[in-house]
Amino acid sequence: MRGGVGAPLRPAAWSCLHTFQKLNQRRDISSWLTRWFPKTPAKSVVAQKTPIKVELVAGKTYRWCVCGRSKKQPFCDGSHFFQRTGLSPLKFKAQETRTVALCTCKATQKAPYCDGTHRSERVQKAEVGSPL
């Protein structure tokens, strides 16, 4: 009996099976990517309710924490990646050497610099570690 149950697969069937296996591998990869890199990023959380003053050095590149989960505020320590937030740090280069106040409430409109938003009722009522 040719092509019946239990019969050996012909080359065309092997090709079809191989294609199906590749599709399954891609699906597995895409689900892995979705877990690590969500399409909808998490919201930033309030790291602190006051800015941090730091001296920036002219020409040096910094990475400001956007997610609020870094233990090295106001700078990024990679927590956004390990906690799968879908957020990325804000990379910026200091134009001159000077002391500035960097935002840690993560609600500023002038990121990474503090614009005083931390004084708002909305930020002051929020718990540290919670999203706004």
Q: How far apart are CA 24 and CA 34, in angstroms?
A: 15
pLDDT value at residue 33: 65
Which letter does DSSP use for residue 37 in this model? S
In this prediction the pTM is: 0.70
pLDDT value at residue 77: 96
Q: Contact 111/90 with Cβ under 8 angstroms?
A: yes
The overall average pLDDT reported for the chain is: 84
Q: Contact 132/96 with Cβ under 8 angstroms?
A: no
Helix (H, G, I), strand (E, B) or coil at 102: strand
Mean pLDDT, residues 47-64 taken together: 98
pLDDT value at residue 86: 84
Q: pLDDT tens across 1-40, in order? A: 555 566 565 555 555 555 555 555 555 566 666 666 666 7
Which letter does DSSP use for residue 90 in this model? E
pLDDT value at residue 3: 53
Mean pLDDT, residues 82-108 taken together: 94
Q: Which long-range contacts (CB under 8 A, 24 or more apart) does 83-86 make?
A: 83/42, 84/35, 84/36, 84/37, 84/38, 84/42, 85/38, 85/41, 85/42, 86/37, 86/38, 86/39, 86/40, 86/41, 86/42
Tokens of 30: 């895409």
Q: pLDDT tens across 75-94, in order? A: 999 998 877 788 899 999 99
Q: Contact 65/71 with Cβ under 8 angstroms?
A: no
pLDDT value at residue 100: 98
